[in-house]
Amino acid sequence: HETKTNPDIDYALSKDNYEIISSANLTKRLNARLKELQSRTKTGKARKMRSDAVTAYDFMITGSHDDIMAMSQETRQQYFADATKFMQDRYGAKNVLDAVVHIDEKKGTDHLHLTLVPEKDGRVSAKALFDKKEMRDLQDAFYEKVSSRYGLDRGEVGSKTKHLDSLRFKTETAKAELEAIQKTTAELENLPPVVRGRIDLEIKKAKKKFIPFADDVNKLCISSFIKNKCSVSKTAKQLH
């Protein structure tokens, strides 16, 4: 459901984004992994997962703009491949559902998006896995095993940077468009019928963009948005 509404993206370059781990059938594979990890009662019956459970995280891995873009293309590709391997080794290969490198931000920095199921001790528990200690340890370990080998600095300790995941960004953009059109409609309700008809048509177009994204978010995240816990690199860009 590509709306092409993110002003920071050069969509002519999107074709050059590439996958380290395919994102094909992401929803299906996420649901299958969740089923594998679903806890069971003493009788063997699967316990129902909480509707507000965080079932996947979207990590973004990058580095400072100058450092990343000074690398050769081959070196950047190896850096992102090593970062993916690091996350697989740390959190389990089965829990890393996809890894996609984006190189299409205008004046931006190449970066890796990675979807991760938060599994600890055989169960889905984002709260148990990603506590404050783990987030600090993650930054330290990533620096030691990956980024330091490429001359990059450690991620900022205690960074409060927050990011929107791609579906949430697009959903909120479309929703804002819809609300703006509806407000205009209310203000201009006394216009001639032919003009009101054109406005109604624009509302329908905006709804078509908003509703599919809302559906995608619900399917992929089981009643909650994928939450972006952190960037493991020093410089973070908004997800798209």
The one-digit pLDDT tens for each residue of the chain (240 residues) are 345 566 677 777 788 899 999 999 999 999 999 988 887 656 667 777 777 888 999 999 988 888 998 999 999 999 999 999 999 999 999 999 999 999 888 778 899 999 999 999 888 999 999 998 998 999 999 999 999 999 987 766 555 444 444 555 555 556 666 666 666 656 666 667 776 677 677 767 665 655 544 444 333 332 222 333 333 432 223 233
**pLDDT at residue 39, rounded to an integer:** 73
**pLDDT at residue 153, rounded to an integer:** 79
Sheet containing 57-61: give its strands across. 18-21, 96-102, 111-116, 57-61
**pLDDT at residue 48, rounded to an integer:** 77
Strand 57-61 versus strand 123-124 pairing type: unpaired
* Long-range contacts, 36-44 (Cβ 8 Å, 24+): 36/94, 37/117, 37/119, 37/122, 37/123, 37/124, 38/124, 39/123
Q: Which residues contact 27 (CB under 8 A, 6 or more apart)?
A: 219, 220
User: Amino acid identity of 167?
Assistant: L
Q: Are the CB atoms for 239 and 113 separated by under 8 Å?
A: yes
Q: Which two tokens stand for residue 101?
A: 């490198």
